[in-house]
Chain A
Amino acid sequence: MKAEKRSLLCRLRSKRALAGGIALLDFEWPFTPPSAGQFFMVKPARTSVFLARPLSAAASGEGTVSFLAAARGRGTAELISMTAGEEALLTGPLGNGWAAFLPKDAAKPVLLLSGGIGAAPLAAAGAELRRTSVHFDFLAGFRRGADGESILSSLGIEAGRALIVSEDGGGRPNGKRGLVTDFLDPQNYSAVFACGPEAMLRSAVLLCRKAGTRCFVSLEARMACGVGACRGCAVPARDGAYRRCCSDGPVFDGEDVFFER
């Protein structure tokens, strides 16, 4: 069941700076909480940019919503430099989220596969799955293992619950070195849920396709409205049409959005 969207100036309760230009932002949000995989359009009240930025909600609490943001450009740099007490305009919750795709029960476990801050919406998926009988593994890729360790901890994922894969092999207790998709064996899972850089998603979809395992991906796109009105966030689909990342997605069946033309 999707919550009706609202738009409101909300107070930043806390900001936790994490390594690598990443921060966890925790805002007051008095309305219905987002379901796992949904996002918000977020814009600081004091800003030099015109548009809000889409941020996936991490696992949220009572009356609050939190986001992992990474400084990629001016807008996201402003977001991570906010301080507690400042306000941002939040519009949401937006998008379809993971809900329709998460199994209620499954013979085999599912895999949550993340790259970088893609761990946030997958942490929310994990919180949702914990309310069912479905088991899941969590495979989380990062550039630096130690950064991954602190990011996962900030999302409330206990040490060792996720396998950290990184370029430097760090990240206690058992960080591995390599590409996160090197450690993906789709045959072990009934479905894979993935969020991260496009190249990672593409590899995951191809590996899953070979194994016959379903793969659901959460995509990113530049957005203006975030609600499905402007058609600016178009994602090419297999049937030749375009999906709206913000409202038909951001979660898609990998087969629909990764294909050879």
Chain B
Amino acid sequence: MSGEPRCSLPRLSVEIAGVKFRNPVIAASGTFGYGGEYEGALDTAALGGICTKGLTVDPRSGNAGLRLWETPSGLLNSIGLENPGIAAFIEQELPRLRALGPVVIANLSGGSIDEYRRGAEMLDASSVDMIELNISCPNVKSGGISFGLDAESAASVVTPVRAACGKPLIVKLSPAAPDLAAVALACVRGGADALSLVNTFRGMAIDIQRRRPVFDNVTAGLSGPAIRPIALRMVWELYEKVDVPIIGLGGIASAEDAIEFLMAGAAAVQVGSATFARPETMTQIIAGLESFMRENNIEALASFNLRRKK
């Protein structure tokens, strides 16, 4: 197209719920610790955002037995939300995490509505930029059924968390919900500013030599490239149903993968297991997005969305 200026600096920046990200690439919860562990292996300062490991009010020591099991193009994990508790996170981990540069997103988990609410209060008083609410935790009071499986339970967590915390709120959805759209809408009505999708899928493995399930808890969370087409489909379908930004995740391991999610309507992406497979994945995705945009004359991220309102 002669006469049209080639864009020399593609704009990777995006704003979600009022928070500015320098680029749409965010480290997923549970895969990046508190930001310092991967220092040196990649340029962590270049990331758009970092989601902390799932935090609970009370410290949790995590699950006994095996916690990891590789699968074809993926990983089963049953960590058990091992974390030092929110108070220790704020005091010991947050200052270093803040200093790194990317947007700080605290992933809030809990076993009861009261624990979620107290956690939200504590994080509200801290310097984290956003909260990502993990509603896939089992509700101890309902015999361990995940809060995120139906609209009413999901709302019962989101509403008090919203009331307790003024910070921008992302709700991370469980892909196991029979009616995901209903859960999503309930979260938005309850006050979610954005949604992230997907959390891990429930899977399992059996050790055929020992003749028993690999994990003490029998089932575990499946992540990695194997789940990507399903995660992408869920983001595509949810986009039509909600008005808030969706952060897409599930097996993203390359710039091409990330672009698929942006085209499906995701405002940003998270990268999880791929960082284990290749520590520089996220910085390579950022570079890959830049070159794709330059080569295809795309000036801003919003242009990727195939269904954007013109």
Given contacts A229-B31, A234-B82, A242-B62, contact A50 B75 (CB under 8 A): yes
**Interface stretch (choices B7-15, B188-196, B272-280):** B272-280
A interface footprint on B79-119 (CB within 8 Å = 1, 0 otherwise): 10010000000000000000000000000000000000000
Partner of A6, one of B30, B33, B41, B224: B41
User: Which residues in B have their C-beta under 8 angstroms from that of A50?
Assistant: 70-75, 224-225, 273, 276-277
For the complex, is A52 an interface residue (Cβ under 8 Å from B)? yes
Q: B70–A232 contact, CB under 8 A?
A: no
Partner of A224, one of B62, B63, B68, B280: B68
Q: B68–A223 contact, CB under 8 A?
A: yes
Q: Give the contacts of B258-303 with A (CB-CB under 8 A).
A: 273, 275-280
Partner of A227, one of B41, B67, B68, B79: B41
For the complex, is B66 an interface residue (Cβ under 8 Å from A)? yes
Q: B41–A222 contact, CB under 8 A?
A: no
User: Which residues in B have their C-beta under 8 angstroms from that of A75?
Assistant: 70
Partner of B30, one of A49, A227, A230: A230
For the complex, is A4 an interface residue (Cβ under 8 Å from B)? yes
Given contacts A222-B69, A224-B75, A230-B79, contact A89 B31 (CB under 8 A): no
Q: A240–B279 contact, CB under 8 A?
A: no
User: Which residues in B have their C-beta under 8 angstroms from that of A43?
Assistant: 277-278
By secondary structure, the B interface counts as loop
Given contacts A4-B39, A230-B30, contact A52 B277 (CB under 8 A): yes
Write the nearest CB–CB distance from A157 to chain B, whole angstroms. Answer: 32
Of chain B, the residue at the smallest CB distance from A246 is: B37
Q: With A and B bound together, what is the CA distance between A233 and B77 in angstroms?
A: 11
Q: Give the contacts of A30-73 with B (CB-CB under 8 A).
A: 43, 49-52
For the complex, is A5 an interface residue (Cβ under 8 Å from B)? yes
User: Which residues in A have their C-beta under 8 angstroms from that of B53?
Assistant: 229, 231
User: Which residues in A have their C-beta under 8 angstroms from that of B236?
Assistant: none
Q: Give the contacts of A202-256 with B (CB-CB under 8 A).
A: 222-234, 236, 240-242, 247
Q: A222–B276 contact, CB under 8 A?
A: no
User: Which residues in A have their C-beta under 8 angstroms from that of B61?
Assistant: 240-242
Q: Give the contacts of B211-243 with A (CB-CB under 8 A).
A: 224-225
For the complex, is B32 an interface residue (Cβ under 8 Å from A)? yes
For the complex, is A133 an interface residue (Cβ under 8 Å from B)? no
Write the nearest CB–CB distance from B189 to chain A, whole angstroms. Answer: 34
Partner of A222, one of B31, B39, B63, B66: B66
For the complex, is B3 an interface residue (Cβ under 8 Å from A)? no
B interface footprint on A169-198 (CB within 8 Å = 1, 0 otherwise): 000000000000000000000000000000
Given contacts A7-B42, A51-B75, A225-B37, contact A231 B70 (CB under 8 A): no
User: Which residues in A have their C-beta under 8 angstroms from that of B64?
Assistant: 236
Q: A7–B280 contact, CB under 8 A?
A: yes
Q: Which of A7, A223, A234 has the most CB of B within 10 A?
A: A234
User: Which residues in A have their C-beta under 8 angstroms from that of B225?
Assistant: 50
Q: Which of A5, A43, A89, A231 has the most CB of B within 10 A?
A: A231
Q: Which 3 A-B pairs have the closest CB atoms?
A: A229-B33, A232-B68, A229-B37
Q: Which B residues have a C-beta under 8 Å from some C-beta of A? A: 30-33, 37-42, 53, 61-64, 66-75, 77, 79, 82, 224-225, 273, 275-280
Q: Which A residues have a C-beta under 8 Å from some C-beta of B? A: 4-7, 43, 49-52, 75, 89, 91, 222-234, 236, 240-242, 247
A-B contact pairs, 18 of them (CB 8 A): A4-B39, A6-B41, A49-B70, A89-B278, A222-B70, A225-B33, A225-B275, A229-B32, A229-B33, A229-B53, A230-B276, A231-B53, A232-B77, A233-B67, A234-B62, A234-B67, A234-B82, A241-B61
**Assuming A7-B279, A232-B67, what are 6 further A-B pairs, CB within 8 angstroms?**
A50-B276, A50-B277, A51-B276, A225-B37, A232-B68, A240-B61
